[in-house]
Amino acid sequence: MKIGVMGAWNTDSGASIHAELIGREWVKAGHALKVFSFYEYSFHGTAFVDRDEDYVIRCFTTSNADPVVLDAVPFLTSDYEIFVVEDLGMLPQNHLGKIFHWIKKKAKTITVVHDGKLTSNPSFYQFPWDGIVGFDRRYISFLRQGYPEELIHCIPYPCHPFQRGDKDGAREKLNLPRDRKIIFMFGPATVEGSETISWIARLKSQYPILLLVVTKNEEALRKVGRLSKKVPTQIRKQTLTISQLYDYLHASDALIFNKESLGHVAISSTVFQCMGAGSPIIARDSNFLETLDDEVLKYRNEEEFRKCLKDVFDEKAEFKATIESARKYVEENSAEVIARKFIELFESL
């Protein structure tokens, strides 16, 4: 099958993670993939995380660029029979709309909705899609308010395949101490994660803790820098590829995810990206994790947060159950499984 994907690629955004997880599985399965993505000077996300594959064409700006630019030629001359749009809100909608009738002549068209609610922007609704994909029942619920039922399909957000690592080996590779309880934060999410540093500090008399922060985000670096005296901290200014990220996850005792609920439907690409490492995720109980139960260790306040950390450090039953639940969830929703569900959708159109 010949598939075209329009959206973020090789950046640290949730839409990019989604597209890459399923897109690379399509390539493995023998499908021909062409990716149309943002120019390097105007992209969705905060950083590029890897080099582009030879099937990637950078040919448009974000929807809020000044000026908005889209090169129509790659869309018109490339060969594809399926056209998948990821996170339409970040794309130059009106520019795409001017050539969409030509895309429709050669391809079935699908949009993957990353927004957590219906938008009031009329430009969003100019496209006669053949299929509209939401990640779970919450997305399907609000999509039904604006689109015909027969167009809407539910396909879960994909997980990175389960890939348990060797903690001591990963620490040696990354030059990290073996005798510490390593708490990991990375990327822009460190801004919110830094709020837990004072809570972590209250456990340093009981455990040999090391806070490991890997980010280039300036706000995160400032916040962690101000608080780093409270607990032994190692900061590395780096943007991680998925392979490097999994090395850090394998080396760590726990990953912190501290985002509060949004006023609309939300999902955590970070959690789905990281859950396959076999390392526990300690996460604020918010609507980012609304569809997950025992797969992560949830907390609502400082007391519950510290209990989660103790359960991990002491390898309590709750910790072991979380790892097993995460493994099962990842296997049921791996990138390979979800990529196949999309192929089944394409074949049904």
Where are the domains positioned within the chain? 2-158+333-348, 167-332
Per-residue model confidence (pLDDT) at position 94? 97
pLDDT tens-digit map of 295-338: 999 999 999 999 999 999 999 888 889 999 999 999 999 999 99
Per-residue model confidence (pLDDT) at position 19? 98
According to CATH, the topology of domain 167-332 is: Rossmann fold (3.40.50)
What's the pTM value of the predicted model, to 2 decimals?
A: 0.94
What single DSSP character describes residue 281? Answer: E
Share of the chain above pLDDT 90, in %: 96
CA 249, 288, 113, 125: dihedral to nearest 10 degrees? -150
Q: Which amino acid is at 174?
A: L
Q: Measure the CA–CA gap between 312 and 292, rounded to whole angstroms.
A: 19
CB atoms inside a 10 Å sphere around CB 206: 13
Q: What is the largest CA-CA distance in the chain?
A: 67
Per-residue model confidence (pLDDT) at position 149? 96
Is 2-158+333-348's fold the same as 167-332's? yes
CATH 3.40.50.2000 for the 2-158+333-348 domain, yes or no? yes
Q: Which amino acid is at 175?
A: N
Q: Measure the CA–CA gap between 168 and 250, rounded to whole angstroms.
A: 9
* Kind and range of the H or E run holding 221: helix 218-227
Q: What is the DSSP annotation of 64-86?
A: T-SS--B--HHHHHS--SEEEEE
Per-residue model confidence (pLDDT) at position 262? 95
Low-confidence ranges of the chain (pLDDT < 50): none
Instruction: Point out which residues pair with 70 in neighbouring strands.
Output: 60
240 and 155 in contact (C-beta within 8 Å)?
Answer: no
Per-residue model confidence (pLDDT) at position 164? 87
